Amino acid sequence: MNIIETQDLTKTYGDFTAVSHLNLHIRKGSVYGFLGPNGAGKSTTMKMFLGLTQPTEGRFHIDGKTYPSDRVSILKEVGSFIEAPAFYGNLTGEENLEIIRKILGLPKNCVDDALKLVGLTEFRKRLARKYSLGMKQRLGLAGALIGRPPILILDEPTNGLDPVGIHEIRTLIRSLPQKYDCTVLVSSHLLAEVELMADDIGILNHGHLLFEGTMEELKISARAAGFPTDNLEDTFLAMIDEDNHRRGGTV
Amino acid sequence: MSLLIESKKLKRTGYLPAFLAGGFLAAVFPVVYMMVKSEEMTVLSGNPINLLMAANWQMMAMLNILISICGACMMYHTEYADNGMQKMSVLPIRQGNMFFGKFLIATLVLSIMVVIEMAVLVGCAKYWFPNYVFDLTEILKTTGFQIVIMLPTVMLMLVIASACKNMWVSLGIGVIFVFTLSIFPNDVLSLFPFASPYQILSVAMENSRSTLFLAVCGIETVVFGIAEVLYLKLRRCFE
Amino acid sequence: MNFLSLVGMELKKIRRSKIFLILLIPVIMMWIPSIINVDMNFDLRGIPITPENNFFIQGFMGMVWFMIPASLVICTVLLNQTERSNKGILKMLSLPISTTTLCLAKFTVLLILAAVQMVMSIVAYYICAAIVSHIQDYNFILEPLYVCKNVCSIYAAAIPMAAVYLAVSTLIQSPIFSVGIGLASIVPSVLIINTKIWFAYPMSYPFYLIMVAYGRAAEGVYETQIAWLPWLPVAVGITILALAVSCVRYGASERR
């Protein structure tokens, strides 16, 4: 069963098309890796899911609901992490989460829980603007994970983290569906990273979906198209490169 | 060179449009005033320009000061907001030159603003006072005087803005200065920044204080400029 | 979640922003000149007013004309900047809460801040009046009921202005521009207060009330009756319009 589905989802800014006729299918209880180079339209798609930007064309459903009519009830089910540092610098990490907790109407212990999940417990009394980049990133993640929502939308959650942090967060994301039966949509520009976390992947370039399916299916289709398959990073690069060439050729 | 760079930094900040808008807004005062009170004004004797200045300059000067404050804050906000200043300080340029580049730009746009205002005042005089005779030297003198007595305020405000990394602090200091000095009617204080711009050339000439004002304001501007250079040297040692 | 706890939350967001200091400084700055120039209160220049009334009205005049609007401008911009500077607003918009409620909570916080400043100014007035009474050996202290009544009416008259400034800071992204426009809008109120259309300009409402109070304390200086019509309907209309605009446009640019 698909928990998030889009039909011909399109977003244009003036004459620039950020997302073009996107048809995504995200299975319930899976980790969906959303892959693409910078500026491919990943963040725009995620922003549309959260009602932060209006689709120009097409529709999407999240758990059977749609924007804008069910905006609030969608947001109740979705924990999100977009555009890395979104917080109040004059408040401590704990106070920032406290605000989110109150809005979501969650019990008090959720803040501690979220802090523990991302490993910020010992820094919870520090002002958020004094956090290091990695800590800000973790705070953002805590804000998404708080209350353990059934759907998580995470935009490049490992940006700015050190190798240990990246590993921790990856492991955490990988374990989430089994732990609390949730669905995760996570974006990245590294295929190797997505490979470690995701069940399904969607590859986006210049707003177009190049591929959607499992890792196995990717390998099969890449082999069929004559892309290198022994190293996944090469596969990804070759796919993007080929798409760019085709695009450059038609324009 | 530094002037070009500094003006480039102000691109897309809306700096120039803000000053132009401020100039036009200030210029609206005498027009509205004359529309409301033309009957009382036209029967008064005296030079129409002086009459118009006496009735409106307080408000126009205040607007000029407020916009200069905002302008100074804006200039340094672009430096500090995304750590542009940090980059500048590791480049082979003099911090002092940067500051004076900013001061020159601020003076220039202020002059444009005052010129717009004076032009509208002349227009009002022509329209409402039939026996008004246009005298270019007089207008130029007045314009020059009004610009010079604004200079200490512009300079001091830039010094404050350059010292405060947080734009709100410099803005707050500026606003409090404007307020405090505008309700303190005092002959001595009127020589100081934030108070001197309210002076009018014709009034100063009557009290034979025009030379005094020009001299004091000139000195103040230079002193604040030197203070800034010293401050920059000092800051370099401590940062 | 209910509106009250939302307001509480908004108040929490301005912790450590030194906003109360920003509100306190003008209150203090306002009374220092009054203390220094206290002897001017005896030089009435033929205006039939008692020195104690003169002290009260002259002191509040500067406050009402410049400081209340300026504080409101700074507060609204500060409130919106706390949301924008680290994209906190983006988080708020992705939480299940309506933007209208969020915007109204912000407005409530603004009104609370203004109320705090009013209380501060009453306290400052009594402290200063006590000081000058002691220095001049003349009783400058007015009865609390009169003072509170005037301050409360000034506060009420400042509400439309607060709504307008909120709308300005919501519509204009650049903080320095919204401050600039706000501050520039204060200046003409001196001019507009003497015209027939003063009621169309919210920034002059508190100033109008203090002028009426002046008129009552000193005969012939200004009107003694408040012209409720057409003031009241216009003021209510402006407030509702400004609030509607801010509610509709709240967070709009973050949701392009």
Whether the predicted pLDDT of A84 surpasses 70: no
What pLDDT score was predicted for residue A106?
Answer: 87
For residue C251, give the chain A residue with the closest CA: A52
Which residues of B fall within a CB distance of 8 Å from C30? Answer: 179
Cross-chain Cβ contact A83/C94 below 8 Å: no
* Residue of A47, A49, A72, A103 to mutate for C, most C C-beta atoms under 10 A: A103
Which residues of C fall within a CB distance of 8 Å from A87? Answer: 86-88, 91
Whether the predicted pLDDT of A251 surpasses 60: no
- Pairing mode of beta strands A2-13, A25-27: antiparallel
Whether the predicted pLDDT of A250 surpasses 60: no
- For residue B17, the surrounding DSSP H or E stretch is helix B15-42
- Cite the beta strand spans of chain C per DSSP E: none
What pLDDT score was predicted for residue B185?
Answer: 63
Residue B237 tokens read as: 């040692």
Read off the pLDDT of each residue in A149-154 and give the average, rounded to a whole number: 91
Instruction: Summarize pLDDT for A186-203 with one digit per residue, the tens.
Output: 998 888 888 888 889 999
B172 touches chain C (CB under 8 A): yes
The CATH fold assigned to A1-63+184-251 is Rossmann fold (3.40.50)
* Residue of C3, C95, C100, C256 to mutate for A, most A C-beta atoms under 10 A: C95
Residue with tokens 């069963």: A1
Interface pTM (ipTM) of the complex? 0.80
What pLDDT score was predicted for residue C82?
Answer: 84
A62 secondary structure, DSSP code: E
CA distances (Å), origin C149, targets C60, C153, C199, C210:
13, 6, 21, 11
Question: In angstroms, what is the C-alpha Rg of chain A?
Answer: 18
Alpha carbon A43 to its chain centroid, in Å, reads 8
Read off the pLDDT of each residue in A99-103 and give the average, rounded to a whole number: 83
CB atoms within 10 A of CB C142: 18
Q: Give me the residues of chain C with pLDDT under 70, please.
A: 1, 44
Task: Average the pLDDT over each of A26-30, B185-189, C82-86 and give the range with the smallest value.
Answer: B185-189
Which residues of C fall within a CB distance of 8 Å from B63? Answer: 184, 187
Cross-chain Cβ contact A99/C12 below 8 Å: yes
Which residues of C fall within a CB distance of 8 Å from B14? Answer: 174, 177
Which of B13, B62, B73 comes nearest C187 by C-beta?
B62
What pLDDT score was predicted for residue A240?
Answer: 87
Instruction: Summarize pLDDT for B34-72 with one digit per residue, the tens.
Output: 888 888 888 888 888 888 898 889 889 999 999 999 999
Domain ranges of chain C: 3-255
Alpha-carbon span C152 to C154, nearest angstrom: 5
* Residue of C17, C38, C84, C179 to mutate for B, most B C-beta atoms under 10 A: C179
* Residue of C2, C6, C86 to mutate for A, most A C-beta atoms under 10 A: C86
Cross-chain Cβ contact B179/C191 below 8 Å: no
Cβ atoms of residues B159 and B150 within 8 Å: no
* Residue of B179, B188, B198 to mutate for C, most C C-beta atoms under 10 A: B179
C20 touches chain B (CB under 8 A): no
Residue with tokens 């450059």: A248
Q: Which residue has the higher pLDDT, B186 or A43?
A: A43
Long-range contacts at B49-53 (CB < 8 A, ≥ 24 apart): B49/B121, B49/B122, B49/B125, B49/B132, B49/B138, B49/B139, B49/B142, B49/B202, B50/B200, B50/B202, B52/B121, B52/B124, B52/B125, B53/B121, B53/B142, B53/B200, B53/B201, B53/B202
Which residues of C fall within a CB distance of 8 Å from A13? Answer: 256
Half-sphere exposure of B191 (CA within 13 A, CB side): 13
Cross-chain Cβ contact A95/C15 below 8 Å: yes
Please give the interface size between A and C, counted as residue pairs whose CB atoms are below 8 Å apart.
84
A192 touches chain C (CB under 8 A): no
Dihedral (C-alpha) C45, C46, C49, C50: value to the nearest 10 degrees?
A: 70
What pLDDT score was predicted for residue C235?
Answer: 94
What pLDDT score was predicted for residue B184?
Answer: 66
The single-letter code of the amino acid at A242 is: E
Instruction: Summarize pLDDT for B128-177 with one digit per residue, the tens.
Output: 888 888 888 989 999 999 999 999 999 999 999 998 888 888 888 898 88
For residue B170, give the chain C residue with the closest CA: C176
What pLDDT score was predicted for residue B221?
Answer: 94
Residue A19 three-state SS: strand
- Number of residues written out for chain B: 239
Residue A229 three-state SS: coil
Long-range contacts at B37-43 (CB < 8 A, ≥ 24 apart): B38/B128, B41/B128, B42/B128, B42/B129
Which residues of C fall within a CB distance of 8 Å from A129? Answer: 86
Instruction: Summarize pLDDT for B3-42 with one digit per residue, the tens.
Output: 777 887 887 778 888 888 888 888 888 888 888 888 888 8
Instruction: Summarize pLDDT for B222-239 with one digit per residue, the tens.
Output: 999 999 999 988 887 776
Alpha-carbon span C99 to C102, nearest angstrom: 5
Cβ contacts of C233 within 8 Å, gap of 6 or more? none
Read off the pLDDT of each residue in B117-137 and give the average, rounded to a whole number: 88
Which of B25, B33, B179 comes nearest C67 by C-beta?
B179
Which residues of A fall within a CB distance of 8 Å from C96? Answer: 71-76, 103-104
DSSP one-letter string for A199-227: SEEEEEETTEEEEEEEHHHHHHHHHHHT-
Cβ contacts of A151 within 8 Å, gap of 6 or more? A3, A4, A62, A63, A77, A78, A79, A182, A183, A184, A185
Domain ranges of chain A: 1-63+184-251
Cross-chain Cβ contact C255/A95 below 8 Å: no
Nearest CA distance, C244 vs chain A (angstrom): 20
Which residues of A fall within a CB distance of 8 Å from C255? Answer: 51-54
For residue B14, give the chain C residue with the closest CA: C177
CA distances (Å), origin C230, targets C45, C195, C197, C205, C233:
34, 14, 10, 13, 6
Alpha-carbon span B188 to B191, nearest angstrom: 6
Cross-chain Cβ contact A100/C90 below 8 Å: no
Residue C68 tokens read as: 């209340």
- End-to-end CA, chain C: 27
For residue A74, give the chain C residue with the closest CA: C96
Nearest CA distance, B59 vs chain C (angstrom): 6
B10 touches chain C (CB under 8 A): no
Cross-chain Cβ contact C188/B59 below 8 Å: yes
Residue C90 tokens read as: 């983006």
Alpha-carbon span A162 to A140, nearest angstrom: 16
Alpha-carbon span B178 to A135, nearest angstrom: 42
Cβ atoms of residues C211 and C63 within 8 Å: no
Residue with tokens 């959607």: A212
